[in-house]
Amino acid sequence: MTPRAYLDWNATAPLRPEARAAMCAAMDVTGNPSSVHAEGREARALLAKAREQVARLAGVSPEQVVFTSGATEAAALVAAQYEAVSVLATEHDCVHAHGTAEIGVDAAGRALAMPQGTAGLVAIQAANSETGVLQAPRAQEGADLMIDAVQAFGKVPFDFAGSGADWAIVSAHKLGGPKGVGALILKPGRDPQPLLRGGGQERRRRPGTENLVGIAGFGASAAAAWQDIADGVWNSVEEHRHELEAMLRDAAPDSLIAGQEASRLPNTVCLVTPGWKGETQVMQMDLAGFAVSAGSACSSGKVGPSRVLSAMGLDDVAASSSLRVSFGPDTTRDTLAAFAAAWAGHYRRYRRKAA
């Protein structure tokens, strides 16, 4: 039986062995991090270590890291502090849902200039989950800035302080950590009102006993991701992306790669073949042994055009015909070549039927 190939890293990355080991070790720690006895201090030490690891990847001090259940909660915590929230038209649903105004993008998915007088909160993603298009969010006079760094965190260098941002949201499972844990990164002096009432955990910013096992895994995955970036691991991934795109262009010259004119994540290809439904392609490739998607995992199962591609100016037919391939350092050239060959075979059959 041919082994399956996982090419949906932007939905969730495979769990890193470092994260698995840290989580297994944390399961044997009995204490509550808020307890003052020896067992509690041991748990608190694990919590502090993970906070330092995440902070290092973000380029901030540990006190600026607030652990949450994920980026969705972190985004809601920030949005609750504001009445006016301007969001990028291509933002992920967990941020877009809070928008009271929208910031447009050009045909490559790059943010357009914000209207004069924009106030309240401006939310800009560092990298798009569907197209991989990178932004360079910078603080604007008169408004606070939140960066959705979920997809960029751990794949490309992230300079929170240099951006002038007030907030950033990140998630563990996008960089090889466990699902169900994330963090809010905040500017010194920021002190959000919590969404929930309860204890004094996370400096009274997020009450509730910390998910120590998940947080330990998050910290370990952040440390490994920091080392990957330092070692230039993602440069090889980008080379593989270029090779895959060349194979796909050769197989289907009438297809297009969304956002190809912009800087993109090293691991993401959003292929659009107008008329060939994205969900059909996903099912066909799944049967062929390849896990891919038609867009953001949080939007999967929704029939209709991609909101991201529509915002970039694609018509409904094209915006319903995308396939996202996302991979990582463990993905080999042979795997990508096998995927391209399998996809090309289905493409030829689709074209014959459409003729």
Question: Would you name the residues annotated as active-site residues?
Answer: 298
Q: Which helix (H) or strand (E) holds 106?
A: none
Spatial distance between the Cα atoms of 145 and 137, rounded to a whole number of angstroms: 8
Spatial distance between the Cα atoms of 156 and 82, rounded to a whole number of angstroms: 29
DSSP labels, 185-201: EE-TT--PPPSS-S--H
Residues forming beta bridges with residue 146, ordered by sequence position: 123, 167
Give me the torsion for CA of 174, 124, 52, 31, rounded to 10°.
-70
Spatial distance between the Cα atoms of 227 and 51, rounded to a whole number of angstroms: 16
Q: Which residues contact 162 (CB under 8 A, 6 or more apart)?
A: 59
Q: Which helix (H) or strand (E) holds 322?
A: strand 322-326
Token pair 């201090």 is found at 41
User: Residues in the chain, how many?
Assistant: 355
Contact 13, 291 (CB under 8 A): no
Q: Which helix (H) or strand (E) holds 255?
A: none
Contact 40, 201 (CB under 8 A): no
Structure tokens at 36: 């003052």
DSSP structural state of residue 145: E
Which amino acid makes up residue 209? T
Contact 329, 6 (CB under 8 A): no
Give how far Cα 96 sits from Cα of 108, 132, 269, 275, Å. 19, 17, 22, 27
